[in-house]
Chain A
Amino acid sequence: MEAQSAGVQGAAPAGGPGSGGTPIVRVEDVRKSYGPVDILKGVSFQIEEGDLVSIIGPSGCGKSTLLRCLNGLESLDTGVIDICGVALKRAPGGKAGAKPGANAEAEFAHAAHLLRKNVGMVFQSFNLFPHKTLLENVMLAPIVVKGTAKAEAEANAERLLQKVGLGERLDHYPIDLSGGQQQRGAIARALAMAPKVMLYDEPTSALDPGLVDEVLDVMKELDREGMTQIVVTHEMRFARDASDYIIYMEKGEIVEISDEDEMFTNPKDPRTRQFLRRFL
């Protein structure tokens, strides 16, 4: 892990290829604004396979928007996102800030669809489907999207739910599960689509403190298995303990990308130091 973490060096916007193997996620000069408000002001970085990267920063710094851009839930104004060789960019023709035409929208939707084949996402509020049991939640997407046979989807779903420690809860509806159980279920649901990269948008923020660890443990287990994971988090202890490296964002920009030890012991940028003061 340590060796791979060298894959990203330096701060935005440069971020060239690192010393290790080829990057699995490549983000290049991504900009995004809502009307007059610039949310992302040219973000670039790369991540190599198997890394667990935490993105931290104050509220409103753009980290969640960045994560949503990474699987095409948000469109970008400029720049490129490349995950596993599928590139997502603003369709040519439209100029930055202008409303994209129907054609450009369709093109973007198509690219996003291809890109998501390799990307799973977990939300702050779990977003399990309340009308389906846990098992059905995990089975649904493979059957609907990939056309997987029901028996196969069911076997796979059972395996994944066992893995996240919910083998006893297959027939429960989400409403009858704790937050931690729901979030583990949501991870299993994302994994059922066999992604190469997992994105987490503040996965433990909605949980009671006592339930946080059971979710983080699942993510650590996935890290050990070599899953590439990007986590937007306020959980500094997790960022510090589990990440290969940490991206610190502020006001739509990447301020610092550092080794997790260095970030917490010796932040380079004064802004990072200011933010991390209470954790140091």
Chain B
Amino acid sequence: MRLAFALRTRLGSAMPSAAPHCRSSRLAGLWAALLLSFWALAFGAAARAETPAAASAASASKPSGPPLRYGGDGTSGAPYIFKDPADPSRTVGFEVDIMDEIGRHLGRPVVFVQNDWSNLIPGLDAGLYDVALSGLEITAAHQAAADFSIPYYTTFGQIVIRRGEMPVDGLADLKGKSVGTLKSSQMEYVLKQAGGIDVRSYDEEIDAYSDLKLKRIDATVMDFPIAVYYAQPDRELQFTGPPIGRIAYGIALRKGAHPELLAQINTALSQMSVDGSLHAILDSWALWSPVMAQVTGDAKPMIAQPVNYEHFVEATQPSGWRAQLDRYARFLPQLGWAALMTMEISILSMVLAVGLGAALALARVYGGTVLDRLAQIYIEVVRGTPLLIQVLFIYYGLPKIGLQLDPFVAGVLALGLNYAAYEAENYRAGLLAVPRHQMEAAVALNMTERQALRNVIIPQAARMVLPPTTNDFISLIKDSSLVSVISLVELTKTYEQISTTYYDYFGTGILVAAIYLLLGLPFVRLAHWAEKHVSRGMTRSSH
């Protein structure tokens, strides 16, 4: 965050010195608004940076050591790690409780860091957090990429079908049917190995159950805890068949990096298993199962009430429109922060894109053969590869060569570098659209090429590229959602989190779409205004 912060501070301090140059009060008003928003951004970042630490410090009993940061995916992550449906500002789950307990054993406060499930292990390598968990299975493939603790939970795959349909007795019965499961999960592997099953992989469990109800697929096989939380309370669905396979969840650490921490965590988990605290946590989430009893040798019946499970079921029950509205109102602060994040990333990326794009365009048109060629290569490479790959490469790839970036910096960099290529081509077209005679006239007045560019060519080109640049900024606001893959929680990510928590893509979708629209609108207005006032002389006026 430090680099991002410095960037923001510089931007903030540059603004006031620019303000006195403005002539009209309207322009000054505009600057003031811009200034205000920049300060709001800076403040927002500061506040956000502090919030998680403060929150977790309160939850740990005696936080004395350095904070233990754990990565997980809170998107539709019940009962593992998820947003409390009754209060989306709280992150809850049985893994949250386990991490809190481990933190107590280690004497360290714990801090949760959001990241996409499929990127949890790369996030360890990127140094984003110390440990990762989110139903990460202890499999050979995972163990090759990371170190794992002893299992904190052992479970199996649960087959779910539509209520009232023919029961299924094991994987053999699923042959020839379409079966939904989670992408990259152990169950996906098991289903594919079984052969003859049409495996449909989903990013979000809730989407798989939804497709099952819509008869788009015939069954689902997912980890038992998922089925307990998303299928069991649903009257349209039912469990069927025997347990599928054996799944053990472990806490992942960066490969070979923290043997002492690994030992401490293993010790804590063993103690929790012996003293019953693990059993109590799992009971409260209604997750204790015969398999756990068998694995731990703990034959005691239920030792705690399933309060957390009941709370979840109650909070996610369909409700009247009144309750629905209350729910949306509760989302607003969370969506507000997310929108701020989106704008922060978008504005800083655009500043980078415009600056670098202009430099590339100048290199192409006026830079001579070598610079032209270099700029051309940059533009072709960046335009010819997917933005998503660039984001992942910069964040997860660069640490391999020793360049480790804060996710915010990486996100801004990836978007900015990508859009710079598009801006460069816009601006090149703008520069070429300025008649050649303009340069000649300036040179004939004895301006150097640099003076001519600055005073004659660029000002004219800038007026011409204003509309396409505005367009690009609007698309950048939307493309900024891609940075959620590097653990930044912006508007689209928040939409996913909220809509999967309540299974409400519809209402939340309209709400979030409206926010995106509102974010882009001021810039469209600003561009119209600028076009009218700045491009004087470029079109015939009335006098």
Contacts and interface: CB of A to CB of B under 8 A. Distances in A.
Contacts of A176: 540-541, 543
B59 interface: no
A272 B409 CA distance: 73
A133 interface: yes
A145 B444 contact: no
A93 B525 CA distance: 59
B463 interface: yes
B2 interface: no
Interface string A106-138: 000000010011001101010111111100000
B371 to A, nearest CB: 14
Given A127-B440, A131-B463, A117 B446 contact: yes
Contact of A131 (B441, B446, B537, B541): B537
A175 B441 contact: no
Nearest to A174: B537
Contacts of B537: 130-133, 173-175
A37 B435 CA distance: 26
A252 to B, nearest CB: 22
A125 B445 contact: no
Interface in B445-465: 445-448, 451, 455-456, 459-460, 463
B536 interface: yes
B446 A127 contact: no
Interface in B219-278: none
A264 B454 CA distance: 47
A55 B247 CA distance: 94
Contacts of B538: 130-131, 175
A14 interface: no
B443 interface: yes
Interface residues of A, number: 29
Interface string B427-450: 000000001011011111111100
Nearest to B541: A176
A116 B446 contact: yes
Contacts of A280: none
Contact of B441 (A113, A116, A129, A172): A129
Contacts of B451: 144-145
Given A131-B459, A175-B537, A176-B540, A145 B446 contact: yes
Contacts of A113: 446, 448
A237 to B, nearest CB: 27
A90 interface: no
A71 interface: yes
B194 to A, nearest CB: 70
Contacts of A71: 444
A236 interface: no
B51 interface: no
Nearest to B452: A144
Given A130-B538, A131-B460, A133-B537, A145 B447 contact: yes
Contacts of B443: 73, 116
A191 to B, nearest CB: 11
Interface in B160-185: none
B539 interface: yes
A224 B438 CA distance: 30
Nearest to B537: A173
A130 B443 CA distance: 16
A228 B350 CA distance: 52
A141 B455 CA distance: 9
Contacts of A130: 460, 537-538
A133 B444 CA distance: 19
A116 B448 contact: no
B438 to A, nearest CB: 6
A133 B440 CA distance: 19
Given A73-B444, A116-B446, A144 B539 contact: no
A174 B459 CA distance: 16
Nearest to A117: B446
A39 B448 CA distance: 27
Contacts of B441: 123, 127-129, 186
Which of A144, A145, A174 is packed against the most chain B CB atoms within 10 Å?
A: A144
B444 A144 contact: no
B460 A193 contact: no
A117 B448 CA distance: 12
B467 to A, nearest CB: 16
B455 A144 contact: yes
A141 B460 contact: no
Given A144-B451, A145-B446, A127 B459 contact: no
B539 to A, nearest CB: 7
A145 B440 contact: no
A271 B456 CA distance: 43
Nearest to B463: A131
Contact of B437 (A120, A125, A175, A189): A125
Contacts of A141: 442, 445-447
A140 interface: yes
A30 interface: no
Contacts of B444: 71, 73, 116, 120-121, 123, 190
Contacts of A144: 447, 451, 455
A127 B448 contact: no
Nearest to A132: B537
Nearest to B440: A73
A145 B463 contact: no
A190 B445 contact: yes
Given A129-B441, A130-B460, 15 more contacts: A120-B445, A123-B441, A127-B437, A127-B440, A131-B459, A141-B442, A141-B446, A144-B451, A145-B445, A175-B537, A175-B538, A176-B541, A186-B441, A190-B444, A193-B445
Q: Which 5 A-B residue pairs are closest in the complex by CB-CB distance?
A: A173-B537, A127-B441, A141-B445, A121-B444, A116-B446
Interface of B: 435, 437-438, 440-448, 451, 455-456, 459-460, 463, 536-541, 543
24 contacts: A73-B440, A113-B446, A113-B448, A116-B443, A117-B446, A123-B440, A123-B441, A123-B444, A125-B437, A127-B435, A127-B437, A127-B440, A129-B456, A130-B460, A130-B537, A131-B536, A145-B447, A145-B451, A174-B537, A175-B537, A175-B540, A176-B540, A186-B441, A193-B445
